[in-house]
Amino acid sequence: MKSIYGLLQPDAGEILWNGQPARPASPHEARRLGIGMVFQHFSLFEALTVAENIALGLESPPDRRVLAKRIREVSEAYGLPLDPHREIHTLSVGERQRVEIVRCLLQDPKLLIMDEPTSVLTPQEVERLFETLRRLASEGCSILYISHKLHEIKALCSRATIMRGGKVVGSCDPAAETARSMAQMMIGAELRTLSRRGARGASEAKLVVERLSLPADGPFGTALKQIGFTVGAGEILGIAGIAGNGQNELLQALSGERRVRPAGAIRIGGKPVGLMSAEQRRLLGLCSVPEERNGHAAVPEMSLAANTLLSARNRMKLAPGGLIRAGLARRYAERVIHEFGVKARGAEAAAGSLSGGNLQKYVVGREVLQTPEVFIVSQPTWGVDAGAATAIHQALMTLAQNGAAVVVISQDLDELLQVTDRLAVINLGQLSEARPTAEISVAEIGLLMGGLHGTEPAAAEEKEHAVHVA
């Protein structure tokens, strides 16, 4: 997609545009041809307004008033309402994606490339996006839709091309395939079936969070407000939510990266840990995986063996008395590579040399193999293929089966519905009451993600519909 959009230049082969060879040398040239792209990670300036951000992406932006009028016209025509004068930092993630899409639509694209566009949307926003894309297609715009969510490919696309390891390995009619059959084409092997655990009764509380509040970390952070939940031994609690609603702050508070008062706001095995460091909490049995793997969970310039020392040095006795046992660190890294199927040149390979998906498998494996008593993971399968996602999900279930308390923070609702026992939703730093996963619908989760806390489901749906119509 970056080659088509002019960000990378291919070494060989050709691109035909309307039957003629084309090789855009830059996004500027691609846009002149009629190619628009919405990236998975937005390219917006948070301190600027919607109109100012859109103007920066246009070849010849019109007068400010004319542009504001055009933004309103196009956004309303396609069911993507936007206020041109709102500053980006005041918008939800779904609204920010609308800005990216409207910026493309103002250029009248003949081809619209979308990269994982629903990873930051509620189910209701996904459906509205699909309505927009179907309308664009009916008007003659070609859509190149990149996603690992195979049910979306089935619902939206007329043809699918499957890639693996940088090569096209097949194509199909999504309507004639199952999500499982397409997943097996993606990974080139039989997809493992998850081994579900049986229903459990009450168990001892391993992690208790009570009235946890934390100020925002910076002007664009999210403050946590009176968060409370309990996770028992053998239980997986899921926390859903759109990105930027306090997930990172919650993980930092739980892992010990940020300390909280009073100390009893977080308890592990009954012990108050709010004022303890991350290392002290690890000694009590807590392991965690943050959302950002490159630079947070792992140091790119360090080897995989050296990266084990970041979090496993004490639990795995890799540095007794402060003396690093390099051989043990290397063997532990090799064990993670082997058991989690990490594609790497060995334990001495730099973490930064791994693909995103393989580094994700490595950092999850590094924590899971420490057999934690409490395990907290954010976006556990971000960027990994279907086979690796199944392996990670199974590892989480096995951890719980062996008595750990597991918290999974994720934007992927399918993932949460598949692996969790109870589910809560975080929105603007507030957490809804955790409910049994089997008893909560996708529509209810979506409404909670949108901020309708404490509203009866039927009334909430009516309210959400009224807001949309208005």
Can you give the CATH number for the domain in which 135 is found? 3.40.50.300
Q: What is the pLDDT of residue 459?
A: 39
pTM for the whole structure: 0.76
Report pLDDT digits (tens) over 348-367. 999 999 887 889 999 999 99
433 three-class SS: coil
Q: What pLDDT sits at residue 466?
A: 40
Give me the residues of the chain with pLDDT under 70, please: 93, 119-120, 191-202, 451-470
CA distance 300 to 191: 31
CA 262, CA 282: separation in Å to the nearest integer? 19
Three-class DSSP category at 168: strand
Instruction: Answer for the pair 114, 143: CB distance below 8 angstroms, yes or no.
Output: yes
pLDDT digits (tens, 9 = 90+) for 118-176: 766 777 778 888 988 999 999 999 999 998 788 889 989 999 999 887 889 999 999 99
Report d(CA 336, CA 287) in Å as an integer.
Answer: 15
Q: Are residues 112 and 229 in the same domain?
A: no
Residue ending a domain, choose from 146, 168, 194: 146
**Same-domain status, 239 and 129:** no
In the listed set 127, 146, 165, which residue is the last one of a domain according to the structure? 146
Q: What is the pLDDT of residue 124?
A: 77
Q: What is the pLDDT of residue 194?
A: 67
Estimate the crossing angle of helix 386-401 against helix 179-187, to 10 degrees: 100
Q: Which sign, positive or negative, has the C-alpha torsion 72, 75, 76, 81?
A: negative
Domain membership flag for residue 83: yes
Closest CA to 300 of 288, 292, 289: 292
**Domain edge (last residue) among 99, 130, 146:** 146
How many structural domains compose the chain?
2
Residue 288: burial class (beta carbons within 10 Å; 0-12, 13-18, 19+): buried
* Cα 262 to Cα 91, 215, 275, 309, 419, distances in angstroms: 32, 14, 8, 30, 32
Residue 281 lies in a domain: yes
**Helix, strand or coil, per DSSP, at residue 338:** helix
CA separation for the pair 334, 305 (Å, rounded): 8
**Quick one: which of 147, 40, 140, 144 has its CA closest to 100?**
40
Tell me the C-alpha distance between 431 and 227, whole Å: 6
Q: Is residue 141 part of a domain?
A: yes
CA dist list (Å): 98 to 83, 114, 242: 11, 12, 15
Q: Are residues 251 and 376 in the same domain?
A: yes
Domain match, 141 and 220 both:
no
Q: 69 lies in which domain range?
A: 15-146
> 305 is written with which tokens?
């063996």
What string of DSSP letters covers 165-198? TTEEEEEE-GGGS-HHHHHHHHHTSPPPPP-PPP
- Is 306 within the bounds of a domain? no
The reply to whether 99 and 232 lie within a common domain is no
What is the greatest pairwise CA distance in the chain? Answer: 69
